[in-house]
Structure 1
Amino acid sequence: MTLTSFRRFMAKAAILLQMAVVVLFVSCGGEVSPQELAAVSAKGYYEHLISGEYEAYLSGVNMADSLPEGYREQLLTNARQFMARQKDEHGGITGVSVVGASTDSVAGHTNVFLLLSFADSLREEVVVPMLEVRPSEWRMK
């Protein structure tokens, strides 16, 4: 197993673990809406980004597993550069929280609103369009 395939495997395992937590919550009697599932997934992908787990973050992009290797590497480089820029400009991103989520029936996706917290106490809200690729499995559009 190569390092790249191992990282992809670990990224998928992390996503499955997050989904297992949601399933456990549901099995304990809680009702989880599709918007909540999308929000948990989006937050998890951004937590991977913040932790420098770029393969795991990229695995959250819709159809990432079928991208040409050169384009995949470019997206990983972009994620690294984005985080380096945030570190230079704001001391880095220190956390992410869910503000809300809403379904856009016209566009066919769910918008998740995340609040990014930076080391310099700045906060920024971002919108992450999410697609349900399989029942209860969400990816970033």
Structure 2
Amino acid sequence: MKKIFYILLLVAVLFSCGSQKKDPSEIVGKTAKIYYDYLLNGDYDAFVDGMNQPDRIPDNYREQLVANAKMFVGQQQEDHKGIKKIAVSDAKVDTIHNTGDAYLLLTYGDKTTEQVAVPMVKRKGIWYMR
């Protein structure tokens, strides 16, 4: 959890260093992509850390979430020769309710593509997957 917090903090600092204020939808899209990149690279724990959940969950529940992430990647490998690339295609933000949707384009090993919607919520200044 600390690892993901530090990475997101770094992203926030990088965005804040620019001369212009960044579009919140850009931040939501890039954050969702970071989470899915963790999934793509086999860092299932970091992917699970990106989910909106209480600060502390039972260990067995966390293990189930990690196992589900592994199974998802395994299923994509079986069905489409794996996920080869992830790109942000769009993102929308509701700044009043601190929610958003990131639209990621997954490119598979069999050359097919799929757009997935990743609902996001901002909690304690950090965007998480809902």
Instruction: Output the TM-score relative to the length of structure 1.
Output: 0.82
The equivalent of 2:128 in structure 1 is 139
2: CA distance, partners of 1:24 / 1:103: 20
Alignment-mate amino acid for residue 77 of structure 2: K
Instruction: Give the residue type in structure 2 aligned to 1:33.
Output: D
1:94 aligns with 2:99: no
Deviates more, 1:89-98 or 1:100-109: 100-109
Deviations 1:42-101 (A, max 9, x none): 100000000000000000001254221111111111111110111111110011111111
Stretches of structure 1 that go unaligned for 5 or more consecutive residues are 1-7
Cα drift, residue 15 of structure 1: 4.7
Contact 2:88 2:103 in 1 (8 A): yes
CA–CA distance in structure 2, aligned partners of residues 138 and 21 of structure 1: 11
Structure 1 Cα separation of the partners of residues 84 and 9 of structure 2: 23
Partner of 1:128: 118
Q: In the TM superposition, what is the alpha-carbon distance from 1:138 to its structure 2 partner?
A: 0.4
- 2:103 alignment partner in structure 1: 113
Q: Percent identity?
A: 35
Structure 2 counterpart of 1:34: 24
Secondary structure at the aligned position of 1:128 is classed as: strand
Structure with the largest fraction of helix: 1
Cα 1:24–1:108, aligned 2, differ >3 Å: closer, same or farther? closer
2:52 is matched with which residue?
Answer: 62
In structure 2, C-alpha distance between the alignment counterparts of 1:57 and 1:99, rounded to whole Å: 20
Number of matched pairs: 130
Pick which of 84-93 and 31-40 moved more.
31-40
Structure 1 segments of 4 or more deviating over 4 A? 104-108
Q: Tell me the CA shift for residue 110 of structure 1.
A: 0.3
Letter in 1 for 2:117: V
Report what 1:24 is aligned to: 14
Give the TM-score, by structure 2 length.
0.88
Residues 59 and 65 in structure 1, CA contact (< 8 A), matched pair in contact too:
no
Q: Which residue of structure 2 aligns with residue 85 of structure 1?
A: 75
Indicate which of 73, 78, 93 corresponds to 2:63: 73
